[in-house]
Amino acid sequence: MEPTFVSGNRILRVSEMAENLIPSEIIKLGGEIREKIAAGEQIYNFTIGDFNPAIFPIPEELKSAIIEAYQNNETNYPAANGQLELRQSVSRFLHTRGGLEYSEDQLLVAGGSRPLIYAVYRTLVDPEDKVIYPVPSWNNNHYCHLSGAKGIPITARAEDNFMPTAASIAPHVSGATLIALCSPLNPTGTAFSRTQLEAICRLVLDENRKRKETDKPLYLLFDQVYWTLTHDDNLHFDPVSLFPEMKDYTLYIDGLSKAFAATGVRVGWAFGPRKVMDKMKAILGHVGAWAPRAEQMAVAQFLQQDAALDRFLEDFTKKLHERLHGFYQGFTQLKSEGFAVDAIAPQGGIYLTVKFELIGKTTPDGKKLTTALDVTQFLLNTAHLAIVPFSAFGASRNNPWFRISVGTAKIEDIEQVLLNVKQALSQLQ
């Protein structure tokens, strides 16, 4: 392990885990973008999975409920597993919207989805346990590092909409502890078909039938935080709705942040087998990663307002759809004109998968593009377009696919962005 700091004559060392933790490429890219914007450049920043509140404000009913909760002095510690009122409302929401039956004691609330995913890893995974996850996917490589797991990345293919298949997972399930999945998927904006997810669930059930009662089961982490945001004729499928017996093995990650443009409200929830949820509660009780009490009380009230939920989700999904399809159609047109680009039709969430097959090309100043980061830099400097390469989600350095996030996109900017891209691509040799 290399030293971290030198102070005087003393080498200051940290843990091996901390020393070798890879920083977020998205955060690093964000710093450079902020510098360009501060210098007066017009940058179309579609990197972060967040929303511009001026374009996508949270529901008015939720905002009013948050203000009311603070006025009612809901400012002390919340319950360690989440306020009962919120867990009851989430239980109802899952039943009415998703047909899932989970009682309040099978639910755990935290400050967004991230601490819940971390708690799943820390609860189920021992050092060197095998964790299977697709590439690209968000942060599973880092959660494996944080928990000491042996990560088994499965490279997903464009022809499968970058969703992992049962056939690609099957060779690795023997002895594995966890399969980590997400649908709709960050970063691709694609989702499992019924057939795809059924095949993976059968794989999990078959593997668990082979294991002894004393063996640790093969669990499935199922992140569905984008599940209410499906597009066109696409439907959301989840493991327990397909196979009720998956309830013993599935840990769901869900929350408010993406479904209601409320990333800063920091209310997420997980649900699954009660024993696992109780252990996750114990871990987060020591960490203290609670959602603020006032926000919890407000969300509990908001989730009971069915008409308001319907109005918001209908309008929100429509606006996301307009942006995603605006970009998708634009890149499809550029492809038809002979440019080295492609895109996958959006199925769910807030992301569009776009291909820039530019490695090997030369810029006007004579620089050869040799990695995805070179392509990222070229698009940022020449087209003023900031997007994230799949290499930031575990893919190789020369992977030609990228994520566009539309939560900050204005409809009126789409035409200009596509024109900038066309002009930039026209300069390459």
Q: What is the DSSP string of 182-235?
A: ESS-TTT-----HHHHHHHHHHHHHHHHHS-TTSPP-EEEEE-TTTT-B-TT--
Angle at 198 between CA 196 and CA 203, to 5 degrees: 100
Q: Residue 260: its pLDDT value, please?
A: 98
Q: Residue 4: its pLDDT value, please?
A: 55
> Is the bond leading into 292 cis (omega within 30 degrees of zero)?
no
Q: Residue 402: its pLDDT value, please?
A: 98
> Is the bond leading into 217 cis (omega within 30 degrees of zero)?
no
Considering the domain architecture, whether residues 34 and 172 belong to the same structural domain is answered as no
What domain count does the chain have? Answer: 2
Last residue of a domain, one of 270, 289, 308: 308
Domain containing 402 equals 6-41+310-426
CA distances from 264 to 111, 303, 419 (A): 10, 17, 33
CATH of the domain at 325: 3.90.1150.10
Last residue of a domain, one of 259, 291, 308: 308
Considering the domain architecture, whether residues 199 and 124 belong to the same structural domain is answered as yes
Is the backbone of residue 243 left (phi > 0), alpha (psi -120 to 50) or beta?
A: beta
22 falls within a domain: yes
87: amino acid identity, one letter: R
Last residue of a domain, one of 290, 308, 326: 308
Considering the domain architecture, whether residues 416 and 344 belong to the same structural domain is answered as yes
Q: What is the full DSSP assignment across 68-125? A: HHHHTT--SPPPTT--HHHHHHHHHHHHHHH-----GGGEEEESSSHHHHHHHHHHH-
C-beta separation of 130 from 153 below 8 A: no
In angstroms, the CA 84 to CA 348 distance is 31
Considering the domain architecture, whether residues 251 and 301 belong to the same structural domain is answered as yes
pLDDT in tens, the chain (429 residues): 455 556 566 778 899 999 888 877 777 777 788 888 889 999 999 999 999 999 999 999 999 999 999 999 999 999 999 999 999 999 999 999 999 999 999 999 999 999 999 999 999 999 999 999 999 999 999 999 999 999 999 999 999 999 999 999 999 999 999 999 999 999 999 999 999 999 999 999 999 999 999 999 999 999 999 999 999 999 999 999 999 999 999 999 999 999 999 999 999 999 999 999 999 999 999 999 999 999 999 999 999 999 999 999 999 999 999 999 999 999 999 999 999 999 999 999 999 999 999 999 999 999 999 999 999 999 999 999 999 999 999 999 999 999 999 999 999 999 999 999 999 999 999
CATH of the domain at 242: 3.40.640.10
Q: Residue 1: its pLDDT value, please?
A: 46
Q: Residue 34: its pLDDT value, please?
A: 86
Considering the domain architecture, whether residues 121 and 36 belong to the same structural domain is answered as no
